[in-house]
Structure 1
Amino acid sequence: MYFLKPGIKKYPEKRWHLPDRIFFSFGACHILAGVFLKKFSDKGFYALRILPKAGFYGNHIFVTDGIVAFDFHGYSLKNQLIAHFRKGWSARYPGWDAHIEVVDFPLLDTDSLNQRKMLGPNQYLFNPIKRAEQFLNRFDHEHLIAKVLKKAC
Structure 2
Amino acid sequence: MRALWIKPAAGHTGNHIFVDGGGWAFDYHGYAEKDRFLTHTWRGARRRWPGWQASLIELPADVLVSEAKSRGYGGLWLREPGQFLHNAMPRAEAYLGRFHPPPP
What is the TM-score when the length of structure 1 is the normalising length? 0.59
Q: Give the letter aligned to residue 95 of structure 2.
A: F
Which structure shows the bigger proportion of residues in helix conformation?
Answer: 1
What are structure 2's unaligned runs of at least 5 residues? none
Select the residue among 24, 34, 41 that pairs with 1:68. Answer: 24
Which structure shows the bigger proportion of residues in strand conformation?
Answer: 2
How do 1:17-96 and structure 2 match up within 5 A? 45-96=1-52
* 1:104 shift after superposition: 3.1
Which stretch of the first structure deviates more once superposed, 115-124 or 53-62? 115-124
How do 1:114-125 and structure 2 match up within 5 A? 114-115=71-72, 116-125=76-85
Whole-Å separation in 1 of the counterparts to 2:23 and 2:10: 28
What are structure 1's unaligned runs of at least 5 residues? 1-44, 147-153
Q: Give the letter aligned to residue 92 of structure 1.
A: R
Aligned residues: 100
Which segments of structure 1 move beyond 3 Å, counting only runs of 4 or more? Answer: none
Sequence identity (%): 38
What is the TM-score when the length of structure 2 is the normalising length? 0.84
Q: Is the Cα contact below 8 Å between 1:47 and 1:62 reproduced in 2? A: yes
